[in-house]
Amino acid sequence: MEKERRGLSSTSLIRSYNVVSVLQTLYREGACSRTRLAKVTKMSPATITRIVGELLAQGIIAEHGIGESNGGRKPILLKLSYEKLFIIGIQIRRDQVALGLADLKGKLMRKTSYSPYSLEPDTLIRELVQEFQNLLQNANVKKEHILGVGVAISGIVESERGILIQSVNLGWRDVHIAEMLEKQLDFPVVVENDANAAALAELWFGNAKNVSNFLLLKTSAGVGAGIIYNRKLLTGPRGMAGEIGHIPLQKNGPPCRCGQKGCLETYLYFPDVLKRYQSETGEAIKDWFELYTKILNHDPVACQILEELAETMSIAVSLSGGLLDLDMVVISGVWANFKELLINRLEQNFQTILELSGLKKKFSVLCSTLGEDSDLLGAVGLFTQKWFTPPI
């Protein structure tokens, strides 16, 4: 192809079919020879030689020792340089937009965040593009070494077409966000719901690297779930799989912002929990650590909040684990800090249900270790999933 003869001087080449095939093969194989590359990709040796030469010159791949001989000269093995290819992750929430540049191992090289001036889509996108350009300018990486952009956003997303169907958090409906960003950024863009993206972060970079079936329960800006099934993201035909925040699980529970009673979000959305504590005690608490301390000191209202939370989350975890035959549930957000008080109980409760059902399998409930970067790394994992499988 004429475009490939120009060398890696444009961002389009590294995403061309032949180069992508070489990079994906090296990713899957770990390390392989030129002969192996030609066999797997079904390209001619001359084409492989040209592409490998260009990638070596750019440092995107490197020679990695000598392989076993099949009767002739021992082949030189080639390996992908994970630290020389990058993905930009973007997280969009009502109160914050975050951007991060990460390598293929999920190491965030640089990140920035800001409060959006306006939530009107065109205005927010213009501001985001400017912050994106600033990030690139300060990152000191070659633009042609950036594979693309992943966007994690609050709401229901039709990822195949890059459309945000609806976001209560942002007040958006039917926004063609991928198309809008691609026109202005000159990179391919993949968009997904933030809980789904956070689940991909756990699959690629977190506690679920070696797990085939798990659910990520997101408990930060609202409540949602991302489902990984057979190591693939399960979104449903309309992108609504995992929309569990407003499913009422307790008939006589506290009122939710949606107007129902006993929704999962009522118990998990931390600002509402703080308001509830203040309403019942007249005392304001400022963060999770203060609530945690009050529970340890046997504060009756704080302990009651924990008991209701544990009961409701147990219902959610048990239903999800049983219906989907999960191996693990990962808790992210503020409640991941309550491991000794909460997480272990969720695991024990569902393990008891499994034993009563006669099923002998191990089920785990773990806390996310990705912290505040979970959504950002999820956006990175979203684009990584588009390019490479299985995870490193």
pLDDT at 292 over 80: yes
Strand ranges across the sheet with 224-229: 232-234, 224-229, 214-219, 328-333, 364-367
Q: How far apart are CA 191 and CA 171, in angstroms?
A: 17
For residues 204 and 376, the answer to whether their CB atoms sit within 8 Å is no
Q: Measured in Å, how far apart are the chain's first and last C-alpha atoms?
A: 30
**Per-residue pLDDT, 189:** 92
Output the pLDDT for position 278: 93
Angle of CA points 356, 343, 107, to nearest 5°: 125
Question: Is 137 in contact with 129 (CB distance < 8 Å)?
Answer: no
pLDDT digits (tens, 9 = 90+) for 116-170: 988 999 999 999 999 999 998 888 888 888 888 999 998 888 888 899 998 877 8
Q: Are 56 and 6 in contact (CB under 8 A)?
A: no
Beta-bridged to residue 149, according to DSSP, are 88, 189
- pLDDT at position 293: 94
H/E stretch holding 271: helix 270-281
Query: What pLDDT band is residue 296 in, cutting at 50, 70 and 90?
Result: very high
> Mind listing the pLDDT tens digit for each residue in 182-222?
999 988 899 998 888 889 889 888 888 888 899 998 886 67
The per-residue pLDDT for 159 is 86
Instruction: Return the SS3 of 142.
Output: coil
pLDDT of 9: 42
Q: Give the least confident one: 64-68, 76-80, 156-160, 177-181.
A: 64-68
Phi, psi of 150 (to 5 degrees): -110, 140
Of all residues in the chain, what percent carry a pLDDT higher than 90? 24
- Please report which confidence band the pLDDT of residue 283 belongs to, taking 50, 70 and 90 as the band edges: very high
Report pLDDT for 17. Answer: 76
**Residue ranges in 152-237 assigned as alpha helix (H):** 177-185, 194-205
Q: Which of 10-14, 30-34, 77-81, 259-263 has the weakest average pLDDT?
A: 10-14
Sorted by where each starts, the structural domains of the chain and their CATH numbers stand as 3-80 (1.10.10.10), 86-201+375-382 (3.30.420.40), 209-369 (3.30.420.40)
Q: Does the pLDDT value for residue 392 go beyond 50? A: no
Question: For 65-89, what is the mean pLDDT?
Answer: 81
Is the pLDDT at 273 greater than 50? The verdict is yes
Mean pLDDT on 9-16: 55
Q: Which residue has the higher pLDDT, 228 or 249?
A: 228
Mean of the per-residue pLDDT values of the chain: 84
| CA–CA separation, 98 and 328 (whole Å) | 28
Model confidence band, residue 363 (pLDDT cutoffs 50, 70, 90) = confident
